Amino acid sequence: MNLTSDLVALKERLEEIARGYGLDFFETFFELVDYDEMNEIASYGGFPTRYPHWRFGMHYEELDKGYSYGLQKIYELVINNDPCYAYLMGCNAPVDQKMVIAHVLGHSDFFKNNLWFSKTNRKMVDQMANHGVRIRKHIEKVGLEEVEGFVDVCLSLENLVDAHSPFITRRSPSRTEEEVEDEARRIEVPRIRSKEYMERYINPPEYLEQVKKKLLEEARRRKRTFPENPERDVLQFLLEHAPLEKWERDVLSIVRDEAYYFGPQAMTKIMNEGWATYWHSKILTERCLADTELIDYADHHSATLGTQPGRVNPYKLGVELFRDIEDRWNRGRFGREFDACDDLETRRNWDRQLNQGRAKLFEVRKVMNDLTFLDTFLTEEFCERHKLFVYQWNPRTNRHEIASRDFRQIKEGLLRSLTNLGHPAIAVLDANHKNRGELYLTHSWDGQDLKYDEATETLKNLFRIWQRPVHLETKEEGRGKLISYDGDKIGSQEILPSA
């Protein structure tokens, strides 16, 4: 539903204020929805349409019951797209609408300017629709259960991607079926450099074919590992080398594309939420709130920032960090001199009046992701002020308990949970294991064990795609472990870790 004229006026006013502060966002369209519609939209992650799958139905049911997702998720669903689409709930009071609009503009600015989003597909709304069309086509041809089952298999593997690969060599984000198919047939063959018109003579196709064959044979003979280096983008590897049907390859590439699209959002959750909160707070309290709205605003705003004991609220952490950065860069509380200063009094009263805070914020929002953000700006003073702690599982009392407020441990704990988006780091080590074409994956163990039962189920899914025995090397409580699946049963044995 279209916005009312009041809301349109409100939106325009807020946009003006936001631009005044220096925010630079995509054109943003708001749609007015009711509670039910909001739930539906949220089930699809904010997109008007996606490929058919039962998990969207599952999200819907959870949302409908008011489970999981807190207020935050419902309040504003913003898509990283140009133009940006967002939603307002019709039943909300004007003060809430202001908050949401301002918050959304903050997100939009972040999507547009943060580097980690620079390679994402800004026409994802259309792309999602396209994915839906393709999958429906496959369903029609192959059957619902088959396609659905295969989508499930792919989703099970969707975290096996390389978050950094968009910045290395990235294939075009929106590939058609044909492009995907062609790529699979290509194996890189060293060519002699030549000018375009000479290509046919210097590197004739027959010659290339021959070389390609020879290379493959050689590789097999010399038992050179294939891939040469551990491949983190497992999905891409599978796309190129697994014996997939055409429709299967298409489905897998769709799942991969979407995983890459959402990757940056997962990588910058704290910053993004902190940024949007910072701005909605500033815009409202400094420019836009009527006196009568103050209490309601404070109430709703604090609800968003409420901390569930035992969790870190990304909104709160993000906004407090940004405010801390602003304060520090205003007062010059950084750099070698400041770090070296030991005297508490001096430190407390340190104020060089640099007033670089705002500029610093904009710079930070452009360049960093959660990992670098926290690594760079989480200080001991900050942790103390905001009462961060590390908790541990106590096997005697059978519960989690506060363990320490040691700064180093806190920082390490946070950084660890953010590394690789909280997923285990897994790569393809050898696709010709035992010289029998078996797939060998390795998990870079960093102290955290994998969940065993899910790992075995996931291996089965991997087998479904690779069609030959698959292995995963990992560690359990420090001891090397190899889990395998040969199509029939799961095997598990202790091994000496290979790396």
Partner 1 sequence: MANEGMVRRVEIDHNRFRQIVRGRIKKDLHRFITQGEFLTRKGRDVVSVPLPQIRLPQFRFGRSESGVGMGEGDPGTPLEGDAGSSGGGPGGDQAGEHVLEVEVSLDDLAKILGEELELPRIEPRGTRRFSAVRDRYTGLRRAGPESLRHFKRTFKESLKRQMIQGTYDPAQPRIMPIRDDRRYRSWNMRLNPESNAVIIYMMDVSGSMGSEQKEIVRIEAFWIDTWLRSQYRNLEVRYIVHDAVAKEVDQHTFYHLRESGGTKISSAYELCTKVIEERYPPSEWNIYPFHFSDGDNWSGKDTEKCVRLLEAELLPRVNMFGYGQVKSAYGTGQFKGDLDEHFKADERLVTSDIQSRESILDSIREFLGKGR
Site for partner 1 in 311-330 (CB under 8 A): 311-314, 316-317
The candidate with the shortest Cα–Cα distance to 107, out of 49, 161, 181, 28, is 28
Q: Give the whole-angstrom CA distance, residue 362 versus residue 384.
A: 26
Q: Which stretch binds partner 1 (CB under 8 A): 8-16, 43-51, 174-182, 354-362?
A: 43-51
Q: Give the whole-angstrom CA distance, residue 255 versus residue 131.
A: 9
Whichever of 60 and 362 has its CB closer to partner 1, that residue is 60
Which residue do the tokens 């940024």 mark?
275
Enumerate residues 380-419 that contact partner 1 by CB under 8 A.
386-393, 397, 399-405, 410, 413-414, 416-418
The candidate with the shortest Cα–Cα distance to 246, out of 325, 160, 180, 316, is 180
The torsion defined by the Cα of 17, 18, 20 and 25, in degrees rounded to 10, comes to -140
Q: Does 173 bind partner 1 (CB under 8 A)?
A: no
Q: Give the whole-angstrom CA distance, residue 171 versus residue 169.
A: 7
Q: Give the whole-angstrom CA distance, residue 449 versus residue 456.
A: 13
Whichever of 153 and 242 has its CB closer to partner 1, that residue is 153
Find the shortest distance in angstroms from Cβ 42 to partner 1.
Answer: 10
Please identify which residue in 17, 25, 43, 232 interacts with partner 1, judged by CB under 8 A.
43
Q: Give the whole-angstrom CA distance, residue 358 versus residue 361.
A: 5
Which residue do the tokens 């285990």 mark?
424
Q: Does 480 bind partner 1 (CB under 8 A)?
A: no
Whichever of 89 and 390 has its CB closer to partner 1, that residue is 390
Find the shortest distance in angstroms from Cβ 83 to partner 1.
Answer: 8
Burial of 158 (0-12, 13-18, 19+ CB in 10 A): middle
Please identify which residue in 13, 40, 181, 497 interacts with partner 1, judged by CB under 8 A.
40
Do the Cβ atoms of 468 and 497 come closer than 8 Å? no
403 phi/psi in degrees, rounded to 5: -110, -45
Do the Cβ atoms of 233 and 162 come closer than 8 Å? yes
Whichever of 337 and 380 has its CB closer to partner 1, that residue is 380
Whichever of 388 and 431 has its CB closer to partner 1, that residue is 388
Whichever of 97 and 313 has its CB closer to partner 1, that residue is 313
Q: Does 375 bind partner 1 (CB under 8 A)?
A: no
Q: Does 152 bind partner 1 (CB under 8 A)?
A: yes
Mention every residue, 6+ apart, whose C-beta is less than 8 A from residue 278.
106, 318, 319, 322, 323, 361
Q: Give the whole-angstrom CA distance, residue 246 versus residue 184.
A: 10
Residue type, 293: E
Find the shortest distance in angstroms from Cβ 152 to partner 1.
Answer: 6
233 token code pair: 């983008």
Q: Which stretch binds partner 1 (CB under 8 A): 112-120, 278-286, 431-439, 447-455?
A: 447-455
Please identify which residue in 156, 236, 253, 484 interacts with partner 1, judged by CB under 8 A.
156
Find the shortest distance in angstroms from Cβ 207 to partner 1.
Answer: 42
Enumerate residues 460-479 that contact partner 1 by CB under 8 A.
461, 472
Helix (H, G, I), strand (E, B) or coil at 485: strand
Q: Does 57 bind partner 1 (CB under 8 A)?
A: yes
Do the Cβ atoms of 383 and 405 come closer than 8 Å? yes
Do the Cβ atoms of 57 and 37 come closer than 8 Å? no
Do the Cβ atoms of 235 and 160 come closer than 8 Å? yes
Q: Does 85 bind partner 1 (CB under 8 A)?
A: yes
Please identify which residue in 21, 60, 226, 377 interacts with partner 1, judged by CB under 8 A.
60
List 89's β-bridge partners, or say none: 33
Whichever of 208 and 393 has its CB closer to partner 1, that residue is 393
Please identify which residue in 88, 135, 147, 160 interacts with partner 1, judged by CB under 8 A.
160
Find the shortest distance in angstroms from Cβ 467 to partner 1.
Answer: 19
Q: Does 431 bind partner 1 (CB under 8 A)?
A: no
Whichever of 105 and 157 has its CB closer to partner 1, that residue is 157
Residue type, 21: Y
Mention every residue, 6+ apart, whose C-beta is less than 8 A from residue 2.
31, 32
Q: Does 458 bind partner 1 (CB under 8 A)?
A: yes
Q: Does 337 bind partner 1 (CB under 8 A)?
A: no
Find the shortest distance in angstroms from Cβ 234 to partner 1.
Answer: 10
225 token code pair: 């590992």
Mention every residue, 6+ apart, whose C-beta is less than 8 A from residue 346.
none
Find the shortest distance in angstroms from Cβ 161 to partner 1.
Answer: 12
Find the shortest distance in angstroms from Cβ 200 to partner 1.
Answer: 46
Enumerate residues 18-37 that contact partner 1 by CB under 8 A.
29, 31, 37
Q: Give the whole-angstrom CA distance, residue 151 versus residue 164.
A: 24
Enumerate residues 258-287 that contact partner 1 by CB under 8 A.
262, 266-267, 269-270
Whichever of 199 and 449 has its CB closer to partner 1, that residue is 449
Q: Does 158 bind partner 1 (CB under 8 A)?
A: yes
Find the shortest distance in angstroms from Cβ 392 to partner 1.
Answer: 5
Whichever of 336 and 387 has its CB closer to partner 1, that residue is 387
